[in-house]
Structure formats: structure tokens, C-alpha cells
Amino acid sequence: MSDELSALGRYTGPATLVLSSLADGPKHGYALTKDVEHFAGIHLAPGTLYAALDRLVEGGLIEGLEAVGRRRPYKITALGATALMAHLQAQRRVTETGLGRLAGAWETP
């Protein structure tokens, strides 16, 4: 896999969660963590979240909007949407292959 998200190394996971969360509209840090918690069951710690945000901004995959009060919403860019799409489709092939082979050889619980 050579998409932009995989290139983020240890931040691929958090970055995928962040982009997935932003895919339906801009969110600020706290809304983002709550959203990720809701759809993935993962608590993104603040340090990790901002490390991922920094890298995504740097790569042009998201952009910071004008702060609302103290909170700054982030928005996914077209480049970010393309990268997320590519990454998730690659992931889907892995997921489907894995699940398919499991279904063939192992009994699902």
C-alpha cells in the first residue's frame, strides 16, 4: 500500500479515524474525539489527536478553519477525501479477504 495515509506510519490509524470523522463535515477537536468514540469505540488521546491533525494539515489532507470561540474546527480537503477513499478501499480488500478466508476455514462465533 502506498497511499498518503499509510505513509504516516504510526499515525495512520489516528489519521484514518480523523479523516473518517471529518468526512461528513468540519469538527473541532473535542467533537472529533467524541465522534470517533461513537463510531469506532476508540478514545483518541489529545496528544495523539493533535499529532495526527498536525500531520494531516502538513500533508494538505485537512485544513484548520477560523476558530469558533476557542475551538478551531478542521475540515477535510479534496486531497484528504481522495486519500481516505484510496486507503479505505485498500483496507476493504484486506478486510474482505480476511473475513472471506476466516468464513471458509473457521466457524464464526
Integer angstrom CA distances of residue 66 from 63, 71, 73, 83: 10, 9, 7, 24
Minimal distance in Å, beta carbon 89 to other proteins? Answer: 30
- Decide whether 46 or 98 has the Cβ nearer to other proteins: 46
C-alpha cell at position 4 = 498518503
Least distance in Å: CB of 74 to other proteins? 9
Are 44 and 14 in contact, with CB atoms under 8 Å apart?
Answer: yes
DSSP 46: H
In the bound complex, what is the minimum distance in angstroms from residue 67's beta carbon to other proteins?
Answer: 6
Cell 472529533 belongs to residue: 32
Which residues of the shown chain bind other proteins in the complex (CB under 8 A)?
A: 28-30, 33-34, 43, 45-51, 54, 67, 69-72
Q: Which is nearer to other proteins, 19 or 49 (CB)?
A: 49
